[in-house]
Amino acid sequence: MAQVKLTNLNKKFDGTHAVKDVNLEIRDREFVVLVGPSGCGKTTTLRMVAGLEEISSGDISIDGKVVNNLAPMDRDIAMVFQNYALYPHMTVYDNMAFGLRMRKFERPEIDRRVTHAADVLGIQPLLERRPRQLSGGQRQRVALGRAIVRNPRVFLFDEPLSNLDAALRVQMRVELKRLHERLETTAIYVTHDQVEAMTLGDRVVVMKDGTVQQVGGPLELYDRPANRFVAGFIGSPAMNFIGATLAEANGSLWAEAQGLRVRVPPQKAERLRRHAGQRVVMGLRPETLRPATAADSDYAFDATIDVVEPLGSEILLDVRVGDSPVVARVDPGLRFSARERVRLAFDPARVHFFDATSEAAI
């Protein structure tokens, strides 16, 4: 059980600044997910916590003790690698027991811990097999088993599910969550998959180009993204962005773009008024859009349907508003056809505005 604190953490490889001034406090027993596109510095950050990568500047402390110069084995952490990194020449049992043997545990204790972990993970019958005789999902479990037998202070996960097929990934995601609830160990999890981040994380850290964009609970990131990048990264299908100009008329603020003129909701108008006359980016999540009724006059716009994607549980409408492509996620009971004109309304409480240059949320 441990807190992990990253203070002004930096990593420079020759020529590239991979991690820039990362500050993060991970609470005891918290499950924190680092998420971002490839090259955003998330894995490098994790590897610095593991001790596999030297720190260029800044501090990493575990339970208040700076561990910058501690070897990986002295940090009391366990790591699950993307490709599992199981020892191919050892049996499943030996793979799980290796860390305990290196730490000079007594044989009965090793046996007890490995058996227990194998029970928890349902890999009891596989203990005598070798990694290459296992399926991807089974290898994944062994890798988890190797981490949990040690009962470390912190678990580190480096994209552990990305080598699994889609169905298995969903299943393992649930199991990981269950496992974390059971083990109550601090965990840092790296992924590029925002769905994994949202479902697993107590808190999610969104990174881009080596910097932290936003830290928050999954719904906080979804509902109140700090900038356009986070807004676009979290949520699937992604948020729609429409470039617009703000204009005052009849005592209200209006967002105008080609083929669109909608009212800025009163609760947002206060903050947006000083951007009047300027370009902004309007953000609308696909699920906040629906076919308009007569009552929606100020919060609706006309669009032309490009493609209809019926997914069974919902319909994705790829439409065009002026020049901007927009995706709407609508009720599966409705019927649409391509090239049809449709009027879409949005929930005024859930429209976002971003500064056109700084991209920060307004």
Both tokens of 63, joined, read 């339970």
Position 192 contacts other proteins (CB under 8 A) = no
Q: Which of residues 122-151 bind other proteins (CB under 8 A)?
A: 130, 146, 150
* Binder among 8, 16, 57, 83 for other proteins (CB under 8 A): 83
* Binder among 87, 217, 236, 256 for other proteins (CB under 8 A): 87
Distance, in Å, from the CA atom of 181 to the CA atom of 205, rounded to the nearest integer, reads 20
Closer residue to other proteins, CB minimum distance, 103 or 279: 103
Position 113 contacts other proteins (CB under 8 A) = no
Contact yes or no for 223/52 (Cβ under 8 A): no
Distance, in Å, from the CA atom of 224 to the CA atom of 65, rounded to the nearest integer, reads 34
Position 85 contacts other proteins (CB under 8 A) = yes
Q: Which of residues 42-81 bind other proteins (CB under 8 A)?
A: 50-52, 71-73, 77-79, 81
Q: How far is the CB of 81 from other proteins (least distance, A)?
A: 5
* Binder among 21, 30, 61, 98 for other proteins (CB under 8 A): 98
Contact yes or no for 66/45 (Cβ under 8 A): no
Q: How far is the CB of 266 from other proteins (least distance, A)?
A: 55
Q: How far is the CB of 145 from other proteins (least distance, A)?
A: 13
Position 88 contacts other proteins (CB under 8 A) = yes
Name the DSSP letter for residue 360. Answer: B
Q: How far is the CB of 47 from other proteins (least distance, A)?
A: 8
Distance, in Å, from the CA atom of 214 to the CA atom of 232, rounded to the nearest integer, reads 13
Position 89 contacts other proteins (CB under 8 A) = yes
Both tokens of 344, joined, read 């879409």
Position 99 contacts other proteins (CB under 8 A) = yes
Q: Which of residues 260-299 bind other proteins (CB under 8 A)?
A: none
| Total number of residues that touch other proteins (CB under 8 A) | 22
Residues comprising the chain, all counted? 362
Name the DSSP letter for residue 36. Answer: -
Q: How far is the CB of 117 from other proteins (least distance, A)?
A: 14
Distance, in Å, from the CA atom of 230 to the CA atom of 352, rounded to the nearest integer, reads 12
Strands (E) located in 63-136: 65-66, 77-80
Strands (E) located in the chain: 4-13, 16-26, 31-35, 57-62, 65-66, 77-80, 154-158, 186-191, 203-208, 211-216, 240-249, 252-257, 260-263, 279-284, 289-291, 300-310, 315-321, 324-330, 341-346, 351-355
Closer residue to other proteins, CB minimum distance, 187 or 253: 187
Displacement of CA 133 from its chain's centroid (Å): 32
Q: What are phi and psi of 185, to 5 degrees?
A: -110, 145
Look-up of token digits 């949202």: 198
Q: How far is the CB of 119 from other proteins (least distance, A)?
A: 21
Closer residue to other proteins, CB minimum distance, 4 or 345: 4
Q: State the residues that interact with other proteins by CB under 8 A.
A: 50-52, 71-73, 77-79, 81, 83, 85, 87-89, 98-99, 102-103, 130, 146, 150
